[in-house]
């Protein structure tokens, strides 16, 4: 093995390289604001850094999902509020039609108005938010209903599926966010809003005063059923708002935790950079004062 002729020079170069790497690291931290850029910067903290970043990303995604859910739920709530107003107009028409002074022609005209309002209710059931039919369950790309006055309800059968969607709460757990148009407007074995309205329409066309009175009375049950669905969506709005607020609070805490691991202490990095540069300058200055001897100095 050939040993270095000048161990002092080797030591000088090693020391210079170490100081330059230290200065470069401090400069990177100041420029990027990050203490850990590469895994080699702090191998012991890499696992904690990845985990903290994962928590931040998950919370961010939950917040985005909640924003989209808010638009959907707000649209559904507005549709149901409008549907209740429409049903109240139909109830008024039913009361007018039940008046014994009404003629067959007048009741036929009222039936025409009820038909138009039934169409509006179907439109409410087909509410679309961000290209999704919000009342069509998990099959949200087709309208749940259309008008068909040949059926008992005055509409086609429900074209959707059950609603199984759940939204994640950042604090843990999930909650349901929707009902189907069938649940709301034509509940199997329960009040049928469409059925009650269509019964009134048919009774008016038949000029059957007793049937008109019966159908008008059934509209109250339909109204109560729609009100229950409206209350459900009001509750979901509150849950979404509460969960969204939780993502903001949790986001601040998670981002702070991530910063504690990843972010650089800029004051410390700046001080370290200045100190390292001073050390470099001192090392070069000291090296200049070292006597320079060659191989010939040892040959005599």
pLDDT tens sequence across 208-240: 999 999 999 899 999 999 999 999 999 999 999
Lowest mean pLDDT among 28-32, 74-78, 245-249: 28-32
My answer on whether 23 and 53 are in the same domain is no
State the pLDDT at residue 2: 46
My answer on whether 107 and 248 are in the same domain is yes
DSSP string, 22-55: HHHHHHHHHHHSBS-SSGGG-GGGHHHHHHHHHH
Q: How far apart are CA 28 and CA 264, in angstroms?
A: 10
My answer on whether 130 and 279 are in the same domain is no
Between 232 and 41, where is the model more confident?
A: 232
State the pLDDT at residue 190: 81
pLDDT of residue 262 exceeding 70, the answer is no
**Range ranked top by mean pLDDT from 15-24, 43-52, 68-77, 245-254:** 68-77
My answer on whether 15 and 53 are in the same domain is no
My answer on whether 67 and 106 are in the same domain is yes
Inside any domain, residue 43:
no
Among the listed residues 9, 20, 53, the one whose alpha carbon sits nearest the alpha carbon of residue 293: 9
My answer on whether 79 and 111 are in the same domain is yes
pLDDT of residue 31 exceeding 50, the answer is yes
State the pLDDT at residue 121: 98
Between 260 and 133, where is the model more confident?
A: 133
State the pLDDT at residue 1: 46
State the pLDDT at residue 187: 85
My answer on whether 172 and 285 are in the same domain is no
Listed in sequence order, the residues at least 6 apart from 277 whose beta carbon sits closer than 8 Å to its beta carbon are 23
My answer on whether 72 and 101 are in the same domain is yes
Structural domain boundaries, residue 292: 7-33+264-298
CATH number for the domain spanning 118: value is 1.20.1330.10
Inside any domain, residue 110:
yes
My answer on whether 275 and 244 are in the same domain is no
Q: How far apart are CA 229 and CA 84, in angstroms?
A: 10
Between 41 and 162, where is the model more confident?
A: 162
- Mean of the per-residue pLDDT values of the chain: 83
State the pLDDT at residue 299: 54
Lowest mean pLDDT among 75-79, 189-193, 259-263, 264-268: 264-268
Percent of all residues in the chain with a pLDDT value above 90, rounded to a whole number? 60
Inside any domain, residue 273:
yes
My answer on whether 269 and 254 are in the same domain is no
My answer on whether 14 and 75 are in the same domain is no
pTM exceeds 0.85, yes or no: no
Helices and strands, counts by H and E, the chain: 7, 4
My answer on whether 75 and 149 are in the same domain is yes
Inside any domain, residue 213:
yes
Total number of domains in the chain = 2
Inside any domain, residue 1:
no
State the pLDDT at residue 104: 95
Inside any domain, residue 246:
yes
State the pLDDT at residue 257: 75
Inside any domain, residue 39:
no
Report, as an integer, the average pLDDT of 54-76.
94
Inside any domain, residue 207:
yes
């Amino acid at each position: 093995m050939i040993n270095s002729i000048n161990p002092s020079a080797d030591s000088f170069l090693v020391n210079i390289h170490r100081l330059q790497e230290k200065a470069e690291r401090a400069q990177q931290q100041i420029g990027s604001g990050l203490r850990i850029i590469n895994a080699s910067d702090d191998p012991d903290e890499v696992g904690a850094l990845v985990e903290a970043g994962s928590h931040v990303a998950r919370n961010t995604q939950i917040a985005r999902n909640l924003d989209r859910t808010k638009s959907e739920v707000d649209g559904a709530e507005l549709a149901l509020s409008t549907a209740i107003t429409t049903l109240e107009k139909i109830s008024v028409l039913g009361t007018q039609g039940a008046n014994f002074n009404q003629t067959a022609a007048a009741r036929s005209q009222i039936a025409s108005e009820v038909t138009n309002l039934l169409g509006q209710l179907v439109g409410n059931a087909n509410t679309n938010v961000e290209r999704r039919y919000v009342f069509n369950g998990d099959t949200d790309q087709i309208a749940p209903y259309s008008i068909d006055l040949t059926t008992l309800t005055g509409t086609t059968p429900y074209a959707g599926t059950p609603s199984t969607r759940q939204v994640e709460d950042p604090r843990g757990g999930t909650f349901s966010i929707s009902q189907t148009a069938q649940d709301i407007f034509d509940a199997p074995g329960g009040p049928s809003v469409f059925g009650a309205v269509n019964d009134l329409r048919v009774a008016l066309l038949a000029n059957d005063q007793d049937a008109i009175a019966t159908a008008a009375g059934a509209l109250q049950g339909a109204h109560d059923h729609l009100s229950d669905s409206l209350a459900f969506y009001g509750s979901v709005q509150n849950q979404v708002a509460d969960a969204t607020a939780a993502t903001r609070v949790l986001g601040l805490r998670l981002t702070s935790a991530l910063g504690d691991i990843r972010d650089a202490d800029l004051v410390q990095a700046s001080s370290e950079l200045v100190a390292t540069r001073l050390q470099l300058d001192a090392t070069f200055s000291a090296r200049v004062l070292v006597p320079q001897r060659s191989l010939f100095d040892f040959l005599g």
